[in-house]
């Protein structure tokens, strides 16, 4: 698993040391510290951290001014920022969040739980279902290619019983998995194909009706729908 890069900006050397030790208790964190807003901006642009812990009260350039400068630079504008402050009144917390911070951690903090507190503000680095969704979409492309060939056989009047059964099986599988992986339109269209295949197998439907249902499913597999599995890191 890739390390979570945390940049800490605080003018107090003691706090920088304590926070490095605290976050270091979690082996997935990689930490860098800066003593001022201007220095932090340079490091943020070069290092591209996953999150910035930013002290509110600092000389010359305080936390809000630093955040504004970070947001004004395209290379750092999207980096999440968590303020750290001793002024933990509700009104102050609301003000800091309104500036664009994803959260606020109050001082004093528990060094043993700081890493967990930071994690509560971060989205999971990897969606555990993302790879499964990508594999499902690859299966959609493969199965629809087979269904397209079967559709041509239907319209040519050359679809034996085993072809109808294969259409029903593929549609049944896509109908069940589509909803699970967050593609209800595929699930609904596949269910319609399954129903049409059953009707055709019991002589309640026709080849043309089944081919028409297949049109609806085949139309849901444009090339931009199918994506390769990826290891995405979300901020």
- The residues spanned by each domain of the chain are 4-119, 130-218
Cβ-contact 52, 235 below 8 angstroms: no
C-beta of residue 17 within 8 angstroms of C-beta of residue 42:
no
Cβ atoms < 10 Å from Cβ of 55: 25
Judge: domain 4-119, CATH 2.60.40.1150: no
Question: ∠173-232-47 over CA atoms, to 5°?
Answer: 175
Q: How far is CA 63 from the centre of its chain?
A: 28
- Residue 127: per-residue pLDDT: 56
pLDDT of res. 52: 97
Cβ atoms 16, 8 nearer than 8 A: yes
Per-residue pLDDT 10s for the chain (235 aa) are: 568 999 999 999 999 999 999 999 999 999 999 999 999 999 999 999 999 999 999 999 999 999 999 999 999 999 999 999 988 788 888 899 899 999 999 999 999 999 999 998 886 544 556 677 778 888 888 898 899 999 998 988 888 899 999 999 999 999 988 888 888 899 999 999 999 999 999 988 898 999 999 999 998 875 444 333 333 333 4
Taken in order 94, 108, 51, 43, the sign of the CA dihedral is positive
| Burial class, 45, CB count within 10 angstroms (exposed 0-12 / middle 13-18 / buried 19+) | middle
Residue 106 and residue 88 in contact, taking contact as beta carbons nearer than 8 Å: yes
Q: What is the pTM of this model?
A: 0.54
* Beta strand segments in the chain, E: 4-9, 29-34, 51-55, 81-85, 103-106
Return d(Cα 54, Cα 9) in angstroms, integer. 5
- 42's CB contacts (< 8 A; 6+ apart) are none
Alpha-carbon span 22 to 179, nearest angstrom: 42
Beta-carbon count within 10 A of 137 CB? 19
pLDDT given for residue 228 in this prediction: 36
Give the closest residue to 109 by CA, choosing from 39, 191, 8: 8
Tell me the angle at which helices 161-180 and 207-218 cross, rounded to the nearest 10 degrees: 30
């Amino acid at each position: 698993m890739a390390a979570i890069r945390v940049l800490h900006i605080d003018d107090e050397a003691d706090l920088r040391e304590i926070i490095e030790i605290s976050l270091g208790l979690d082996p997935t964190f990689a930490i860098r510290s800066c003593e001022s807003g201007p220095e932090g901006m340079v490091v943020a642009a070069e290092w591209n951290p996953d999150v910035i812990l930013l002290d509110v009260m600092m000389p010359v350039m305080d936390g809000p001014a630093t955040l504004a400068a970070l947001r004004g630079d395209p290379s750092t504008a999207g980096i999440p920022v968590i303020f750290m402050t001793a002024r933990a009144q509700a009104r102050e917390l609301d003000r800091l969040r309104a500036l664009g911070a994803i959260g606020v951690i109050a001082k004093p903090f528990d060094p043993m739980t700081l890493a967990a507190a930071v994690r509560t503000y971060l989205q999971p680095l990897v969606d555990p279902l993302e790879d499964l969704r990508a594999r499902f979409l690859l299966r959609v492309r493969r199965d629809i290619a087979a269904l397209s060939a079967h559709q041509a056989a239907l319209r040519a009047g050359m679809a034996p019983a085993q072809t109808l059964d294969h259409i029903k099986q593929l549609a049944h599988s896509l109908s069940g998995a589509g909803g699970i992986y967050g593609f209800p339109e595929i699930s609904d269209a596949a269910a319609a194909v399954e129903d049409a295949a059953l009707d055709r197998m019991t002589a309640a439907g026709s080849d043309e009706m089944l081919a028409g249902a297949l049109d609806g499913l085949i139309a849901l597999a444009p090339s931009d729908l199918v994506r390769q599995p990826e290891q995405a890191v979300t901020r």
